[in-house]
Chains A and B, each alone.
Chain A
Amino acid sequence: MSHSLLEIKDLIVSVEDKIILNGINLTIGSGELHVLMGPNGTGKSTLVSAIMGDPRFQIESGQILLDGKDITEMKADERAKAGVFLSFQVPEEIPGVTLEDFLRTAKGSLEKRPPKILQFKKELKEQMKALDMDPSYAERYLNVGFSGGEKKKTEILQLLMLQPKLALLDETDSGLDVDAVRTVTKGIRAFKNRKNGLFIITHNARILEGLDVDVVHVLEGGKIAYTGGQELISKITQDGFGVLGKGVGLHEGL
């Protein structure tokens, strides 16, 4: 039996005094891939931000455990060091810091010693190639002037280079062309192993093609309104969230 990698207990999260998440319970086991769906503005990004430790979101009560360790009070960098990674829905631009320098600094911080330079460069080159990225992007300032799709690919590049335990992907497939989605999915497949976990937010599920999904959650009304297997995805993408009926009621009926 897999042990639980991420455990969320009765999590209540607010932003600017407004409760967005009202009692989230969720467990992701190691080696598992979970999908999070839900209408716009229901709080999907809020949930992954709260797991990552975005200071703009206030955790009112509840607990977040990673590998059994309570990370609820930790700052974002400590959570990253504990093994959490978030692929941002809207990645930041950092002028003056090249992609390569940034990744080297991040890797050094996570591993508590600077990476071996030649090995690092070799790995970066290989991963960029696998993601169909122009190698010259390593020398460019992070995300500055990158297209929407290029930014998303760069997030996956960071995922592959930093090898976290738990990867949270917030709509990484939005804004990607058909080929880019396939490349990103290939990257995710390369990342996935029996020990780590993935929590993927998607609206169109294109990113999941060829991936084995273990559990699908639907967020509505501040709660996980529905939880099921892979079959939920096609239901939702074809017929919309309406087919699930009144979410919260269903959940309570389970």
Chain B
Amino acid sequence: MNTQINRLPVPTWNRTGVNWLDQKALPPDREYLQGRHLPYDGILPHGITLMDHLPAEVADIKSGMGEWLDESIRNGADKTCYLLGNGIASEPVIITQNLDLTQPVIRTHFAIKANPGSNLTVVQINRGDAKDGVIENLTQIDAQTDSFVRLISIQLLGKNSQSFDAVGARIGKGAKIELIRAVFGGKTAACGSMAHLEGQGGGYQQDTAYFTDEDQIFDFNDIASHIGRETVSEMHTAGVLSGHSSKILRGTIDFKAGSAHSIGHENETVLLLSPSARNRTVPLILCGEEAVEGQHAATLGRFDEKQLYYLCSRGLSLMEAKRLLVEARFMPVLNKITQDDLRQEILTIIERRLDEHEISS
């Protein structure tokens, strides 16, 4: 088995440093206790129930982080949360996991099976911190015909911990999955998603926003695999890099034979606040089918002086103008977070990071 994490589907030969997760961001080399697979015991809204056992066809859905990590979470999970959606869920399920001294390692196996026509939203909030803390999540989603699943993943860990967030999603006929990510914390943060667009007319939308500072290492491996006809994927990533941090984004759109008339778009914007921050992006579009449309776009840069002047001419101070432009990048993600306190918390983190950046620069 390939033990690499976040491996580019087709490794490059000339820039080998980007092919998979850097050594420095691997999970700490230590003995893990065998997880106890404790099932979720929180309350669930109408329209969502817990499954005692995970159907094999859901357990087989590959994430974007690679088999090795998928299997290690599946086998070693401390907690499980297997959700079944039926009909329209009355409210989102919100699951908060907190790392601390008493619980420095959390491995959770999530699964979401959305029955035909069902509609549900799951919010995962990961926070807290511990020396050499690790949080590993695997979320496997099976969106059946005409269902809708929105997964919102918010990572607000402290800087002593590492996070691994693996998502695998199978999208059935006419079904739609949205993956919304906001990533701020952790010494290292690795996210890998794979959308398997199997059914005709299935849709996948991914919106990621992140903000790095200090020595943080962020690593993304996102794959939209178009299998069925007339499938659509939109993957958008917006980020701010500061300090000595570094980030790699591998974004792959893979049109398999048979995915005729499918459309895949990926785009990325990066705002560089510091010259010592390092940004790397590897877009990949694979075409095993002819009648498809695949597109990639990226912009990298500093603040736009003309935009800043325009905002200042309306009375905003330079700092307020910068803050507004940074917050603007997070809007596609923030707009989908309906919990006001969570939105506010994220806005406060953005503000604090900008303040720190202003002071240090």
One of A53, A79, A105 near B324 (C-beta < 8 A)? A105
Nearest A-chain residue to B330, judged by Cβ: A96
Quick one: CB contact mask for A158-201 with B, threshold 8 Å, 1 for yes? Answer: 10001000000000000000000000000000000000000000
**B331 in contact with A76 (CB, 8 Å):** no
Q: Which residues of B contact A81 (CB under 8 A)?
A: 315
Q: Does B316 contact A (CB under 8 A)?
A: yes
Docked Cα-Cα span, A158 to B320, in Å, equals 18
**A80 in contact with B312 (CB, 8 Å):** yes
**B331 in contact with A96 (CB, 8 Å):** yes
Docked Cα-Cα span, A85 to B139, in Å, equals 52
**A110 in contact with B315 (CB, 8 Å):** yes
Binds B, one of A9-17, A18-26, A86-94, A117-125: A86-94
Give chain B's interface residue range (CB within 8 Å of chain A).
20 to 34
- A56, A94, A110: residue with the most chain B Cβ atoms closer than 10 Å: A94
Nearest A-chain residue to B313, judged by Cβ: A76
Q: Does B329 contact A (CB under 8 A)?
A: yes
A91-109 CB contacts (< 8 Å) to partner B? 91-92, 94-97, 102, 105-107, 109
- A52, A54, A77, A95: residue with the most chain B Cβ atoms closer than 10 Å: A77
**B305 in contact with A55 (CB, 8 Å):** yes
- Contacts A92-B306, A105-B320, A109-B320: A75 and B328 contacting too (C-beta < 8 A)? no
B308-351 CB contacts (< 8 Å) to partner A? 309-318, 320-321, 324-325, 327-332
One of A55, A106, A107 near B309 (C-beta < 8 A)? A55
One of B305, B307, B315, B328 near A106 (C-beta < 8 A)? B315
**B331 in contact with A109 (CB, 8 Å):** no
One of B306, B310, B327 near A96 (C-beta < 8 A)? B327
Q: Which residues of B contact A79 (CB under 8 A)?
A: 313
**B316 in contact with A109 (CB, 8 Å):** yes
**B317 in contact with A96 (CB, 8 Å):** no
Q: Which residues of B contact A96 (CB under 8 A)?
A: 325, 327-332
Interface size on A, residues (CB 8 A): 28
- B311, B318, B321: residue with the most chain A Cβ atoms closer than 10 Å: B311
Distance to closest chain A CB from B318 (angstroms): 7
Docked Cα-Cα span, A246 to B217, in Å, equals 66
Docked Cα-Cα span, A129 to B307, in Å, equals 27
Docked Cα-Cα span, A57 to B36, in Å, equals 67
**B324 in contact with A77 (CB, 8 Å):** no
**B315 in contact with A109 (CB, 8 Å):** yes
Docked Cα-Cα span, A52 to B314, in Å, equals 10
Distance to closest chain A CB from B152 (angstroms): 19
Q: Which residues of A contact B318 (CB under 8 A)?
A: 75, 77
Docked Cα-Cα span, A92 to B305, in Å, equals 11
Q: Which residues of B contact A94 (CB under 8 A)?
A: 307, 310-311, 324-325, 328
- B309, B314, B315: residue with the most chain A Cβ atoms closer than 10 Å: B315
**B305 in contact with A88 (CB, 8 Å):** no
**A106 in contact with B316 (CB, 8 Å):** yes
- Contacts A77-B318, A96-B329, A96-B331: A91 and B313 contacting too (C-beta < 8 A)? no
Q: Which residues of B contact A56 (CB under 8 A)?
A: 305, 309
Docked Cα-Cα span, A186 to B309, in Å, equals 28
Docked Cα-Cα span, A81 to B310, in Å, equals 14
Distance to closest chain B CB from A60 (angstroms): 20
Nearest A-chain residue to B319, judged by Cβ: A77
Docked Cα-Cα span, A147 to B199, in Å, equals 39
**A77 in contact with B315 (CB, 8 Å):** yes
Nearest B-chain residue to A88, judged by Cβ: B310
Docked Cα-Cα span, A102 to B320, in Å, equals 11
Docked Cα-Cα span, A55 to B58, in Å, equals 58
**A52 in contact with B325 (CB, 8 Å):** no
A112-149 CB contacts (< 8 Å) to partner B? none
Q: Which residues of B contact A75 (CB under 8 A)?
A: 312, 318
**A80 in contact with B315 (CB, 8 Å):** yes
Q: Which residues of B contact A102 (CB under 8 A)?
A: 311, 314, 324
- Contacts A97-B324, A105-B320: A92 and B315 contacting too (C-beta < 8 A)? no
Distance to closest chain B CB from A36 (angstroms): 18
| Pairs of residues from A and B, 7 with the lowest C-beta to C-beta distance, nearest first | A96-B328, A92-B310, A80-B315, A106-B314, A109-B315, A110-B315, A76-B312
19 intermolecular pairs with C-beta atoms under 8 Å apart: A53-B312, A53-B313, A76-B313, A77-B312, A77-B318, A85-B313, A88-B310, A91-B310, A92-B307, A92-B310, A94-B310, A97-B331, A102-B311, A105-B320, A105-B324, A106-B316, A107-B315, A158-B314, A162-B314
Point out residues on A near B: beta carbons under 8 Å. Answer: 52-56, 75-77, 79-81, 85-86, 88, 91-92, 94-97, 102, 105-107, 109-110, 158, 162
Given contacts A53-B313, A55-B305, A75-B312, 6 further A-B contacts (CB under 8 A): A75-B318, A77-B318, A92-B307, A95-B328, A96-B325, A106-B314
Point out residues on B near A: beta carbons under 8 Å. Answer: 305-307, 309-318, 320-321, 324-325, 327-332
